[in-house]
Amino acid sequence: MKVVIGMSGGVDSSVVAILLKEQGYDVIGLFMRNWDTSVNGDFLGNPDLNNNICPQEQDYNDALKVCEKIGIPLHRVDFVKEYWDYVFTYFLDELKKGRTPNPDVMCNKYIKFDMFAKEASKLGCDFIATGHYAKMKDGQLCRAKDTNKDQTYFLSQVSREQLQNVLFPLGDLTKDEVRKIALDNGLITATKKDSTGICFIGERNFTKFLENYLPNTPGDIVDIDHNKVIGQHIGLMYYTIGQRRGLNIGGSKERMFVVGKDLNKNVLYISYGNTDYLISDSCIIDTINFNTDKRPVSCTAKFRYRQIDYDVSLEYLNDDEILVKYPEGVKAVTPGQACVLYDGEECLGGGIIKEVRKSGEKLWYL
């Protein structure tokens, strides 16, 4: 059986290649170029980079060395246009609405399990495989053994059809075990640092990056408890609900955090220690995706990655909206983020948070 692996140049996909080859598969590597890292030229002159090679090209070189070492071919495919159309444009549109998007969720939906799968089909492959920490059990997406690395949250928008013929070889391994396998096999990626942050921004400064695409619109920062202007923000798109750092309110050493945004007035609301503003008891989600036949009326949910599960009840408003209720209250549920639904170990799918409510009313400052 032939399998194509999404080779990222990191340790996880490198170990996937080793494991599947050891299991007897005919293994092919495929490197996806999803972003033109030279578009702003901001990697040039960075002393942390090897000979001014952009991070994406360095990742490709690492993937190539891994494939050469373990004896598998590596193909390369360019999805820059598709990524721009389906992921980056979505990211910018959500920011314009004052929301906090998760582009990695959409990258999985439109690129890694769609465009990539179509490319794998052209190569005559029976399966696709990735370095995600997740499991497939009897056709159902399930959490990984390593709960700290579990990535089912980011796979929640991948459809049931897209999950057919998908292999997640790391589902029963911890990150430490993965790195040991890479070390034992002498792979160049064995001690390579994990990528962090938004995929196309990487280690770059988020504010400077966005300035290339969206204009800054400074406005007032208002103390919501006293309805008092206490500073100036640099643009609502740079802030998210619950944020505590980077507010740059001169001279203040008090504990404060973002509790809301008013897009029409261009106002950022903060509170000094009053977490009541962050607590909601329900939200509406849209962009619904279920990868199972189950349509539960009660289950658990995560509203952010690595967050604990919360008990929720579901009210199906229409074909593409669900009212998610959590009467005990949850802090910092944020429009634009994914709400992911679980039944025990099974990831049922989820939706994107559209509206946040408390006591049946939409929170006016969100």
Nearest Cα neighbor of 244 from 273, 216, 266 is 273
Nearest Cα neighbor of 156 from 9, 46, 305 is 305
Rounded-to-integer distance, Cα 232 and Cα 20, Å: 54
Tell me how far CA of residue 359 lies from CA of 125, 282, 300, 329, in angstroms: 52, 8, 20, 10
Tell me how far CA of residue 141 lies from CA of 2, 135, 213, 351, in angstroms: 22, 6, 36, 16
14 Rama sector, left if φ>0, alpha if ψ -120 to 50, beta otherwise? alpha
How is residue 243 written in tokens? 């944020």
Residue given tokens 């690129």 in the structure block? 111
Rounded-to-integer distance, Cα 328 and Cα 356, Å: 15
Tell me which H or E stretch contains 27.
Answer: strand 26-33
Whether the CB-CB separation of 2 and 165 falls below 8 Å is answered with: no
Nearest Cα neighbor of 321 from 309, 305, 339 is 339
One of 54, 67, 107, 299 is an active-site residue; which one? 107
Nearest Cα neighbor of 240 from 278, 282, 212 is 278
Residue 114's CB: how many other CB atoms inside 10 A? 18
Nearest Cα neighbor of 303 from 268, 334, 346, 273 is 334
Residue given tokens 């399966």 in the structure block? 127
Is 299 an active-site residue?
no
Is 54 an active-site residue?
no
One of 54, 67, 125, 199 is an active-site residue; which one? 199
Catalytic residue set: 107, 199
